[in-house]
């Protein structure tokens, strides 16, 4: 049997070898420092990185310093015998540097005293670099958000307002130190918009939204809401607000200018129409007088026919202009444009059949209700369909007469189109369609139908356009922008 002392000696030797192996192979840099801050031992990883460590001062060998470090963790451990951690920068022999997370602890004897400290260091250079890059990215994004001219709002998954940039504070009249809550955001944005973004997928876009400042004042903005998604779940919401109040003001001024222009065109057209009628009456009187003077019955009849024809024209002209000048203010209510277009087409059924015309009606079944004057828009569409029917008056009888009437919505605007393959309008006449009492229908027309249509559409904040080619047909298009439609009175 082995002696107990021999067994203990073997066990101690084995333990020493294990500790030595652990010291050398541990995956971090390990050095042992004495009270003079000299390195008395270093493991393989530390020795391979920095040569000739043993016997050198730690602050000199590891950090290239001539004096002790103020932030030295080893010194703090020598002072109180406790473990300490810190962030040190080691300088390598190749002029490179490493960011180290350092832990120091005392190497105590059996009696509890110690004169050595073990320092273990882990290279966190990649982590520090990544952290620096993240900080740069964060600062960049923060600067981008804060300097944006658009209001940027960010809401976390838990409903906390995490981002509310300077532009947003200016738009909604919120002080820099004032905290903004989810309830505040819900009040500022259009009713139901927050829930629509939260419950939807992707982004929600409102080209013209009515928003509310903290003091209750309203303004118009272009609003985008996004539901933010992580890899598997929702992480929050983001909103962008662009102030379009100035643009709305300019649009209103433009519409008003267009309305005033129509008034001017009306006066000019009236003067032009009256002048033409006076000339026509003068011609009739001339034939009548000269016929009486010469006793020429045919000439007298011609003068009377001319007077009668133009007096009838005066009657039609006066009636149409009176209706135009008495134009009542529009009274908007929620209506479906598809219903109006369908009713107009149905009202022309007999006339279309009599003239052997094929008409195709196509309306978008998804058209939503919009605020407009049903009767006035009905009048506009009636004018356009009536003009399309009249466009076949002078075409070849063998032509396959067709009219297409469509109603649809695209990018926040309602479109009503009336297309025909009739006689078309030449370039000179197209220029005169909307600025004078101009008609191509002779005695049958007054030239006020399209002016009336234009005025009604402008009262609704929209516009009318025409595409036409002589001999091939025309397309008249009404455009009603949702954001510019009149408000319904309470």
pLDDT, one tens digit per residue, over 289-310 is: 888 888 888 888 877 887 787 7
Q: Pick the residue with more confidence: 173 or 430?
A: 173
Please report which confidence band the pLDDT of residue 262 belongs to, taking 50, 70 and 90 as the band edges.
low
pLDDT tens across 190-223, in order? 988 988 888 877 788 888 888 999 898 999 899 9
Average pLDDT over residues 156-184: 91
Domain final residue pick, 243, 258, 283: 243
pLDDT of residue 19: 62
Please report which confidence band the pLDDT of residue 75 belongs to, taking 50, 70 and 90 as the band edges.
very high
Same domain? For 461 and 418 the reply is: yes
Same domain? For 353 and 469 the reply is: yes
pLDDT above 70 (res 344): yes
Q: Which of 101-115, 347-361, 436-450 comes out lowest in average pLDDT?
A: 436-450
Domain final residue pick, 278, 308, 326: 326
pLDDT of residue 468: 86
What DSSP string runs through 87-126?
EEEEEPTTS-EEEEEEEEEEEE-TTS-EEEEEEEEEE-HH
| CATH label of the domain that carries residue 34 | 3.30.450.20
pLDDT of residue 486: 85
Same domain? For 483 and 419 the reply is: yes
Compute the mean pLDDT over every residue in the chain, rounded to the nearest whole number. Answer: 82
Distance CA 302, CA 304 (A): 5
Please report which confidence band the pLDDT of residue 284 belongs to, taking 50, 70 and 90 as the band edges.
confident
Please report which confidence band the pLDDT of residue 351 belongs to, taking 50, 70 and 90 as the band edges.
confident
Same domain? For 239 and 258 the reply is: no
Query: How many structural domains is the chain composed of?
Result: 4
Same domain? For 348 and 304 the reply is: no
Average pLDDT over residues 405-414: 91
pLDDT above 60 (res 134): yes
Same domain? For 355 and 490 the reply is: yes
Count of CB atoms within 10 A of residue 434's CB?
18
Q: What is the pTM of this model?
A: 0.46
Percent of residues, the chain, with pLDDT higher than 90: 28
Contacts of 435 (CB under 8 A, 6+ apart): 265, 268, 269
The gap from C-alpha 408 to its chain's centroid, in whole angstroms, comes to 22
What distances in angstroms separate CA 463 from CA 12, 23, 264, 455, one per listed residue?
99, 85, 18, 9
Same domain? For 11 and 39 the reply is: yes
pLDDT of residue 285: 83
Same domain? For 271 and 171 the reply is: no
| Burial class of residue 444, CB neighbours in 10 A (0-12, 13-18, 19+) | exposed
Name the strands in the sheet holding 203-212, side by side, starting at the edge strand that comes first in the sequence: 161-164, 151-156, 234-243, 218-229, 203-212
pLDDT of residue 32: 92
Same domain? For 168 and 185 the reply is: yes
Same domain? For 88 and 153 the reply is: no
pLDDT tens across 358-371, in order? 999 999 988 889 99
Contacts of 437 (CB under 8 A, 6+ apart): 269, 270, 272, 273, 317, 446, 447, 448, 451
pLDDT of residue 272: 56
Domain final residue pick, 326, 342, 363: 326
* Contact yes or no for 298/291 (Cβ under 8 A): yes
Distance CA 402, CA 392 (A): 9
Average pLDDT over residues 408-426: 90
| CATH label of the domain that carries residue 346 | 3.30.565.10
Q: Which of 17-26, 264-273, 461-470, 479-488 comes out lowest in average pLDDT?
A: 264-273
pLDDT of residue 327: 54
Find, among 68, 82, 69, 70, the residue nearest to 114 by Cα.
Answer: 82
Chain length of the chain: 490
pLDDT of residue 267: 64
Same domain? For 483 and 354 the reply is: yes
Contacts of 22 (CB under 8 A, 6+ apart): none
Same domain? For 392 and 461 the reply is: yes
| Burial class of residue 420, CB neighbours in 10 A (0-12, 13-18, 19+) | buried
Pairing mode, strands 84-91 and 463-469: unpaired
Domain that holds residue 378: 330-490
């Amino acid at each position: 049997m082995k002696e107990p002392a021999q067994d203990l000696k073997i066990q101690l030797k084995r333990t020493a070898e294990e500790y030595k192996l652990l010291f050398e192979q541990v995956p971090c840099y390990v050095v042992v420092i004495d009270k003079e801050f000299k390195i008395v031992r270093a493991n393989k990883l530390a020795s391979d990185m920095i040569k000739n460590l043993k016997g050198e001062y730690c602050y000199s060998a590891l950090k290239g310093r001539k004096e002790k470090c103020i932030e030295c963790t080893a010194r703090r451990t020598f002072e109180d015998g406790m473990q300490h951690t810190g962030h040190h920068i080691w300088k390598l022999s190749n002029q490179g540097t490493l960011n180290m997370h350092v832990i120091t602890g005392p190497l105590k004897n059996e009696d509890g005293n110690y004169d050595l400290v073990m320092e273990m260091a882990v290279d966190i250079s990649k982590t520090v670099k990544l952290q620096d890059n993240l900080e740069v990215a964060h600062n960049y994004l923060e600067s981008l958000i804060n300097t944006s001219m658009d209001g940027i709002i960010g809401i976390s998954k838990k409903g906390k307002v995490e981002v509310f940039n300077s532009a947003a504070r200016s738009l909604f009249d919120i002080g820099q130190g004032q905290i903004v809550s989810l309830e505040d955001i819900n009040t500022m944005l259009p009713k139901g918009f927050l829930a629509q973004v939260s419950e939807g997928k992707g982004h929600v876009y409102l080209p013209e939204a009515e928003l509310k400042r903290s003091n209750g004042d309203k303004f118009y903005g272009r609003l985008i809401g996004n539901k933010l998604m992580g890899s598997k779940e929702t992480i929050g919401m983001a909103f962008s607000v662009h102030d379009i109040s100035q643009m709305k003001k300019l649009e209103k001024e433009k519409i008003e200018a267009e309305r005033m222009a129509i008034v001017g065109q009306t006066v000019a057209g009236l003067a032009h129409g009256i002048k033409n009628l006076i000339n026509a009456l003068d011609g009739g009187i001339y034939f009548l007088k000269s016929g009486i003077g010469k006793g020429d019955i045919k000439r007298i009849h011609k003068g009377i026919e001319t007077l009668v024809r133009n007096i009838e024209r005066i009657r039609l002209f006066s009636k149409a202009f009176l209706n135009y000048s008495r134009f009542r203010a529009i009274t908007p209510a929620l209506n479906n444009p598809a219903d109006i277009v369908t009713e107009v087409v149905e009202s022309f059924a007999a006339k279309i059949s009599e003239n052997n015309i094929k008409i195709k009606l196509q309306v978008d079944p998804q058209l939503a209700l919009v605020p407009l004057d049903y009767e006035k828009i009905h009048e506009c569409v009636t004018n356009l369909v009536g003009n399309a029917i009249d466009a076949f008056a002078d075409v070849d009888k063998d032509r396959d007469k067709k009219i297409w009437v469509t109603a649809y919505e695209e990018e926040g605007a309602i479109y009503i189109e009336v297309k025909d393959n009739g006689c078309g309008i030449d370039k000179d006449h197209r220029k005169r369609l909307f600025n004078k009492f101009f008609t191509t229908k002779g005695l049958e027309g007054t030239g006020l139908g399209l002016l009336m249509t234009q005025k009604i559409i402008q009262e609704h904040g929209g516009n009318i356009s025409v595409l036409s080619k002589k001999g091939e047909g025309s397309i008249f298009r009404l455009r009603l922008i949702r954001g510019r439609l009149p408000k319904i009175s309470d």
